[in-house]
């Protein structure tokens, strides 16, 4: 990716915890199968859950799913269809909190799992910031590889919108 500045995004942070190959593909704007049922379901849940809250707050290269003010405090949220990818979702949301903090905006985060009818608070503490620094460096290392990491069969492959790309 010569002559192009590569940037880490919340989406790349999310995929880093799932599959390095997906990080490389998304970083190269190779989009997954948009007709994949999991992609469609995720989009539906994000669009139609929490109708009274504002949708998509864009900051830099990031788009947070929902946001609201609670007692003068900004709360940003990520809507996920399942808590199965909880660590990925927590770190994605922490990335957004850090991006806001770098711009002088103090906020807290909420992970939302509407199908499970639950939510989880996320705060940006020192340990999480150190983890984000490590992850950011590792994502950039992956992005600068000349080709994608080889496919490795993992439990997430069966629901992956890149499955045909990796395994055909």
Within 8 A by CB and 6+ apart from 11, the residues are 26, 92
Query: What's 57's domain CATH number?
Result: 3.90.320.10
Question: What's the Cα-to-Cα distance from 34 to each of 24, 150, 161, rounded to whole Å?
Answer: 18, 22, 8
Alpha helices, H only, 32-157: 37-48, 86-102, 126-143
Tell me which residue range forms the domain holding 88. Answer: 10-167
Q: State how many domains the chain has.
A: 1
| pLDDT one-digit tens code per residue, 5-24 | 678 999 899 999 999 999 99
Both structure tokens of 78 = 């990520």
Q: Is 160 inside a domain boundary?
A: yes
Asked if residue 45 has pLDDT above 80, the reply is no
Angle at 107 between CA 104 and CA 109, to 5 degrees: 145
Judged against a pLDDT cut of 90, whether residue 163 lies above it is answered with no
* The token pair that represents 14 in the structure block: 């999310």
* Residues sharing a CB contact under 8 Å with residue 126, sequence separation 6 or more, in sequence order: none
Q: How many angstroms separate the first and last alpha carbons of the chain?
A: 25
Q: Which two tokens stand for residue 56?
A: 């998509």
Q: What is the tens place of the pLDDT at every residue in 60-106?
A: 777 887 788 889 888 888 888 888 889 999 999 999 999 999 999 88
Under a CB-based contact definition with an 8 Å cutoff, are residues 12 and 142 in contact? no
Query: pTM for the full model?
Result: 0.82
What's residue 162's pLDDT? 79
Tell whether 3 is covered by a domain.
Answer: no
Q: Is residue 76 part of a domain?
A: yes
In a domain, 20, yes or no: yes
Find tokens 């080889």 and name the residue: 150
């Amino acid at each position: 990716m010569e002559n192009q500045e590569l940037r880490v995004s919340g989406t790349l942070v999310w995929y880093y915890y799932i599959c390095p190959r997906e990080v490389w593909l998304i970083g190269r704007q190779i989009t997954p199968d948009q007709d994949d049922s999991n992609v469609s379901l995720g989009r539906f849940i994000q669009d139609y859950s929490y109708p009274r809250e504002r949708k998509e707050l864009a900051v830099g290269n990031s788009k947070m799913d929902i946001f609201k003010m609670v007692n003068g405090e900004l709360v940003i949220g990520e809507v996920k269809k399942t808590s199965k990818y909880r660590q990925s979702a927590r770190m994605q949301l922490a990335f957004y909190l850090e991006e806001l903090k770098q711009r002088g905006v103090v906020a807290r985060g909420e992970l939302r799992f509407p199908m499970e009818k639950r939510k989880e608070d996320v705060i940006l503490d020192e340990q999480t910031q150190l983890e984000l620094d490590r992850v950011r460096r590792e994502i950039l290392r992956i992005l600068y590889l000349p080709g994608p990491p080889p496919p490795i069969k993992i439990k997430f492959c069966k629901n992956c919108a890149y499955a045909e790309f990796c395994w055909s």
